[in-house]
Every structure is written in structure tokens, then in C-alpha cells.
Structure 1
Amino acid sequence: MSFIDEINEVNTLIVGASQGIGLGFVKKLLQDERISRIYATYRQAESAGELITLADANRERLICLSVDITEESEIAAAIEKIRTQVNKLHLLVNCVGLLHAENIQPEKSLRQINADNLLQYFQVNSIASVLLAKHLLPLFKHKERSVFASISAKIGSIGDNNLGGWYGYRASKAALNMFMRTAAIEYARSCPKTFVVTLHPGTTDTRLSRPFQSHVPPEKLFSVERTVTQLLNVIEQLQDGDSGQFFSWDGSRLPW
């Protein structure tokens, strides 16, 4: 039985919900009658049209919050707003991630290392999650089973790195894994019913992966819907002892 089935009113938060996997989670959770309330963050309204339309059609269940997750003050303000409406969360999925942008591309060699780009990778892919863990702690201090999940990537596994390259993305995801592993230890003391995990979604057909899909076999390129279903299955099947672990989309544990 899923931990969600044990709870009367399930409150969730999806961070980075304007598109891709985050938006997919919102759509999936809206279809689930067990979910009472969904909070969803976006950074820019102009790129969050579909999410905002969903919120307009589901005013009682879906609440959108504008948050730049590189700004701690905005994270704190959004969570304080959530705390005025509910006193506990049961599921957090942080889907925010940076792989490429207008002036940022994964580095193929040391010659391409740029300090400013590295800082941006870490701000988005690593630091944001640990700031969420910091400010969300009070909402996970309850006696019901809960999950704090961050979307990581297998490429952030140090033990699995056999190809090199992609310095900033790899290192920032490895840092994310360490932040969450460390947060899991503290959460075990203050929020013992909360599982803190990182999840590898597989290669998903989103804007993040699109420039790099040419060498991905069709059977290994997942739709957003498939990815979300698989990750929710992993989340719902977590067992005692799984907090602080790094899971792939199929439920297998990945090496650090």
C-alpha cells in the first residue's frame, strides 16, 4: 500500500512546475483523488501559461507560486505563504534543473570551463534543493509518512562516471546528491517519518534533453508521462531504510 493511502489530506509541492517533468507531476497529481492540495512554483509567468491555466480550472486544489529558486528570500516567502494555508506537507518534488541555456553549454573539455557558468550550475542544481530542505523542515515535522524528492541525474554519480565531460552539470548533480544525503541524516532526527531521496528520471523528452537526444535509443527516451508515472511508483514504494538514497527510475539504487 502506498504511504499516500494512509493519509486523509495529502498536501504536495512541485518546484519547477511550469514545464517538463514538473508540469507532468502537476497533471498526474490533479488526476489523483487522494491529493488534497498541490502547490506549484514557476519562475516566469510567460513560460508558465499551461500551468496557470490548470490552476484557474482547479482553484481549490492547485495553487501557483512565483519563485526564483536562486533567491533564498523568494523560497522563504513562498514557503511562509504555504504555511499560512496548511501545517504539513507530504510530498515535495524539486524538478528544477539547468543543463544548457543561451550562454551555457555542457563542457566537453577543461578548455571550456567558465567560473560564472559553474556558479550558475550549482545555484540551480544544488543549492536550491538544500535551501528548500532548510525552509521546508517545519512542514515535514509531523507524524505522517512523507517524501522529499529531488530530481538528480545518473550523470551526477561519481562512481558511474566513465566518459568525462559535462563538468558543471556532473559536479552540481553530485553536490545535490551530497546535500540531500546530508539533509536526510538531519531530517531523520527532526522529521523521522520523512524520506529524503534523489531520483534519476532517465532521459526524458523535455526541453532540457532535446539538444542531446540524437544518440538516445528510442526505447530509452521516455515521454514526460512515462517518467512521472515511473518516479511516482518509486516514491510510493519507498521502504524503511531508503531515506538518503539515490534511486533510478526503475527503483534500483545508483552508486554515489
Structure 2
Amino acid sequence: MIKTQTLIIGANSVIAKAIAAKLQTDTEVGLIVISRDLSCYSGMCNEQINKITVPDYQSSSIEQAIIGITQCDQALINQAPITQVFICNGVLHNAQLKPEKRLEDFSAQAFQQVMQINALIPMLWIQQLTPILTGNTPCTLTVFSARVASISDNHLGGWYSYRASKAALNMLLKTAAIELFRRAKNIKLIAFHPGTTDTPLSKPFQQNVPADKLFTSDFVAAQLLNIVENIEVDGEASYLDWQGKSITW
């Protein structure tokens, strides 16, 4: 019997799929997965998983996804509240984007795209999710950040857009946590740095990473689940690495 539910947004990412795979073995945990492509979940038991496909991550699509959760799952949410949320969307590079190595590489268009994906979209999800997560049941809401977002820890430079977008994300989370402490004390916000994980996002940058510092998605998922299951809901935003250690903002 399902007792709690976990919501995974950007559920087609490598780490998101690893999180889902681990939770699938627990018959008391229901899954709600949201992505533009959910074909990888076709083999999962329909009684345990609610799949919501979105055409994009624009405001209107996010709003419709939230309506989908509340309409299709209201009875289940009352019985089995959402206690974990993972927002796994993010971009470092694609066919058009590459991290900037120098000022000459900086592009206003690329900056706006990276900022929208890495900072704006997670904030829109938080805005829409807060009303349905607020209650008496503790709920952790984890957003994937990065160590390079730390302003105080920036000693190498470069990667202007990615650094700025993740730093903006961190500020949005820290600001939201102050408000939620007043109106939704049960929600804990976490900015999570997974370390260098063997995914398409890190693939072009793995050659100089020591073997013991290149993590599998399965390892990162296990670390993250352990963190969220044991963290205190204290009304503050936490900026943590894969070991559960705090990173300086």
C-alpha cells in the first residue's frame, strides 16, 4: 500500500531515472514523474507510478502539469502525501551552447537560454508546487545546483552563464526558504551538487576527472536519497554536496 509519494521533474535525466529505479523497489512509495519524454518508464507498474508528459517547460505547461497532479491524484495525495520532490532539469551544453572559457565567448542569447533553464524553470515549479505541498507533512524539495555556483569558491573563472545561472538559482532558493518558513514550514529546500556524474552533461569534461571522482548515477541517487531522508526540516535552504556536506554560498 502506498503511504507517501515522490515527485520527479525532468524525470528523463540519467540521475532522475536512477532515483526512480531505487524508489520503485519500495511498495510504500508512489512515483509521479514529469518530463517531455517518459518512454523509459513504460515498463513500470502503473499502480505505483503516475506519468505526466509535458510539451515543454513554459509557465502554461507547468501549470497544466500541476492541475494534472491535483485532479488525477487528489484522493491519493490525501492518503499518501508528496514527501519528496526532485527537480532535475538543467543544461550545461548542447548543440548550440558551450561553457565560455573567456569573455570573447560570452553570448547574450546563450546566457538567457541557460538562465531560463537553470534558474527560471525550477522557480516556476516551486511557485506552482508550494500550494499543494504546504501542510503538516514534512516535504523535501531538492533542486540540482552545482559547486561552481559558489561565489566564494570561484577560483578558476570561466563558465560565465552556467555559474551565474546556478548562483541565481541558489539565491532564489535561499530567498524562497525565508518566505516558506513563514507560510509553509513543512517544506525544506535543498540546492544539491551531485559531483561529476557519468552523464551526457559531464561527458565532454570527464577526461581530467580522477576515476574515483567520476560517480555513477546509481551512486549519486543513493547518496541523495540518504540525504533527504535524514535532513532536518529547519526552515532554511541548504546547499549540499553529494556527501551531505555544506557548500559555502
Q: 2:18 aligns with which of 2, 15, 24?
A: 24
Q: 2:54 aligns with which of 64, 67, 72?
A: 67
SS in 2 for 1:165: coil
Q: 2:8 aligns with which of 14, 19, 22?
A: 14
Q: CA deviation at 1:62?
A: 1.2
Q: 1:207 to 1:186 in 2, by over 3 A?
A: same
1:4 matched to which residue of 2?
A: none
- 2:178, 2:235 within 8 Å by CA — same for their partners in 1? no
TM-score w.r.t. structure 1 length? 0.90
The structure 1 segments of at least 4 consecutive aligned residues displaced by more than 6 Å after TM superposition are: none
Structure 2, unaligned stretches of length 5 or more?
none
Q: Does 1:247 align with 2:240?
A: yes
2:40 matched to which residue of 1?
A: 50
- 2:141, 2:188 within 8 Å by CA — same for their partners in 1? yes
The equivalences for 1:111-150 within 5 A come to 111-150=104-143
Count of residue pairs brought into register by the alignment: 242
Q: CA deviation at 1:225?
A: 0.2
Give identity over the alignment, percent.
35
1:188 matched to which residue of 2?
A: 181
1:76 matched to which residue of 2?
A: 63
Q: CA deviation at 1:240?
A: 4.3
Q: 1:242 to 1:228 in 2, by over 3 A?
A: farther
Cα deviations by residue, 1:189-208 (Å, 9 ceiling, x for unpaired): 22111111111111100111
Q: CA deviation at 1:28?
A: 1.2
Cα deviations by residue, 1:208-247 (Å, 9 ceiling, x for unpaired): 1111100100000000000000011111111243731101
Q: CA deviation at 1:69?
A: 5.5
One-letter code aligned to 2:39:
G
Q: 1:74 to 1:115 in 2, by over 3 A?
A: same
Distance 1:149 1:247 in 2: 10
One-letter code aligned to 1:126:
A
One-letter code aligned to 2:153:
D
TM-score w.r.t. structure 2 length? 0.93
Structure 1, unaligned stretches of length 5 or more?
1-7
Cα-Cα RMSD: 1.4
1:100 matched to which residue of 2?
A: 93
Distance 1:42 1:214 in 2: 30
Cα deviations by residue, 1:14-62 (Å, 9 ceiling, x for unpaired): 0111131111111111112331x2111112x3xx4323x23xx311111
